[in-house]
Chains A and B, each alone.
Chain A
Amino acid sequence: MTTHSEIHDDLSFEDSYNFAYLDEQTKRMIRRALLKAVAIPGYQVPFASREMPMPYGWGTGGVQVTAACLVPDDCVKVIDQGADDTTNAVSIRSFFERTAGVATTEKTTDASLIQTRHRIPETPLTEDQILVYQVPIPEPLRFLEPRETETRKMHALTEYGLMHVKLYEDISQHGHIATSYAYPVKVDDRYIMDPSPIPKFDNPKMDDCPALQLFGAGREQRIYAIPPYSKVKSLDFDDYPFSQLRAPETCAICGADDSYLDEMIIDDDGGRMFVCSDTDFCASRQNEQGFEPAEVAS
C-alpha cells in the first residue's frame, strides 16, 4: 500500500528546493525533449529521468513533465482514474503547491494544467489548457516485440503490420477488438502511439483537441506529445471500425448518459450501481441540477 507519507515531507518552497523541485539543468533537458516531442507528434523522445521524491508508479514521468512546464500563475488539477481525491492525486497536487507555489483546483474548467492518470476529463478541454498524462509503458509495440532496438526500427520503417495482426486476432477470438484500455492510435498519419491506460471511450477526445497533450514515462524515460488540433486515429479495420465502449447505463448520482461510468458494488447481495468516473464532471452536473453533491470535498 502506498501512503501519503511516501512523498517526503521535508519539501518546502521557501527554502532548499528550486522552483517546481527540479534543478534548472534537469528542467532544460526535459524542456528540450518536450519541444522535440511537439515537433514530431507521437514520436517517443528519450530523456534522462530523474529520481523524484515518490516511487515509480506514482507518475514520476508526468510529474517531471509538469514540473518542466509550470509557471507561477498556473492552476493545477490532478486526477487519478477520474477522481481528484485519491491519495495519489492529492499528494501530487500538494507536491506542486509546496514546490512551485501554484494554485490548485478540482474543477476542470478552472485548470490551466491537468495531470492525469488513466482518464481524459469529460468536460471538453480548451486552447488555454495543457493535459499531462502519466504513462507506465510508452511503447505500443512492446507486448509484440520486447527488444527496444527492434521496436525503434519498426517505428522508423512504419512497420506496423504486427499491431494490426494482434488486433485482428482479437476479432477472430472474441468477435470484436477486445482491447479496451491503452488502445493504440496513429498520430498525424505517422507514428503509432500508446495513449496510456485510458479507456478507449476516451480515445476520440484526443483527436482534434484544442489543448496540448503531453505524455511522460518516468521509469521508461520517454516523453511524447500530441500538438493541438492534430489528427489522432484509433487503429481499426474497414469491416471492424473503432467503437467507443461504455456501459449502457446512466449515472446513479447525476443521471448522465454520455459519461464514462465506474461500476460500484453497493451491498453484500451483489447490488450494483454505475456512477461517473469523472468526479468533477458528476459534481458540476449535480450543482447545475440544484442539489448538493452527496459528499463535498474539503
Chain B
Amino acid sequence: MDASSLSGGFVDHAVQSATAFRDLLQAMARPGLIFTMNGTEPPAPLSIAAGVAVLTLCDADTMIYLAPSVDNDDIRSWVAFHTGAPFASSRVADFAIGKWDELFEIKDFPAGNDEYPDRSATLICSLPALVAGKTRLTGPGIKGAHWLDLPDGGDEMRRVDLYPCGRDLILTAGDQLAALPRTIHLETG
C-alpha cells in the first residue's frame, strides 16, 4: 500500500462525516437539489463527491461493487484503507460505484423484495456534469418540480417498475452531488 492510499480521507472523521451525511440526507429528501461536498481527495477517477459518499456510508458491513472505470489498485487500496468495506460482485452489492452508462448496463444489482424493499443497492453514479437541465423531476421531497440534465435510462436503473422495491441513485460530478431515489418520476421535455 503506497502513501497515496492513506491520504485524502477525512481529517476529523466524526464531524466531517456528520456534515457530509446531513447533506446526503437532504439530497435524498429533496431529489434533484445539488450539493457541494468536500473533505476527500480520492485517487482518480473517483470524484470528491463520490469519495465523500463512500467514506460517510460504507464500512465493513457493506459490500462495494466497482465498475471497470473505477476498478484500479489505487482506488481499491484507498476505499479499503478508509472504510474496510469488502469488494463484491454486482449481484450482492450494497453500494456500486461507476459511470452512469456502466451502471446502466448492469442489470443484477439488488432491488430488495416486497417485504424488505430496503435490501437494495445504492448506485453512486458519476456524470460528466451535474446541472439543472431538461429532465423534470416530480415526487416526494419536491415542491412543484426540480430539473436536472440526466441521460436516458434513469427509470430502468432504479427499477421504478418494481416500486416499492427498486434502487436509489447518488449522482456525482466533481464535488457536486444530488440524489434520485426510486420514488421520483422523470420526464424529459
> Size of chain A's interface in residues, with CB distance under 8 A?
45
Stretch among A65-73, A233-241, A259-267 lining the B interface: A65-73
Establish whether residues B114 and A230, one from each chain, have CB atoms under 8 Å apart when the complex forms: no
Establish whether residues A39 and B182, one from each chain, have CB atoms under 8 Å apart when the complex forms: yes
Establish whether residues B57 and A157, one from each chain, have CB atoms under 8 Å apart when the complex forms: no
Given the interface pairs A39-B168, A43-B164, the reply to whether A227 lies near B18 with Cβ below 8 Å is: no
A33 CA / B182 CA spacing, docked (Å)? 15
A297 CA / B24 CA spacing, docked (Å)? 36
Partner of A72, one of B15, B59, B61, B142: B15
Given the interface pairs A31-B57, A39-B28, A40-B183, the reply to whether A229 lies near B118 with Cβ below 8 Å is: no
Establish whether residues B25 and A212, one from each chain, have CB atoms under 8 Å apart when the complex forms: yes
Q: Is the CB of A61 closer than 8 A to any CB of chain B? A: no
Q: Which of A1-39 contact B (CB under 8 A)?
A: 18-20, 24-25, 27-29, 31-39
Establish whether residues B117 and A35, one from each chain, have CB atoms under 8 Å apart when the complex forms: no
Establish whether residues A230 and B141, one from each chain, have CB atoms under 8 Å apart when the complex forms: yes
Contact residues of B with A, CB < 8 Å?
Answer: 13-15, 17-19, 21-22, 24-26, 28-30, 56-59, 61-62, 114-118, 120, 122, 140-143, 163-164, 168, 181-183
Further pairs besides A32-B62, A212-B26, A226-B140: 11, Cβ < 8 Å: A24-B13, A27-B18, A28-B56, A28-B61, A31-B25, A35-B57, A46-B116, A46-B118, A152-B115, A156-B114, A229-B142
Contact residues of A with B, CB < 8 Å?
Answer: 18-20, 24-25, 27-29, 31-41, 43, 45-46, 68-72, 127, 152-153, 155-157, 188, 190-191, 210, 212, 225-231
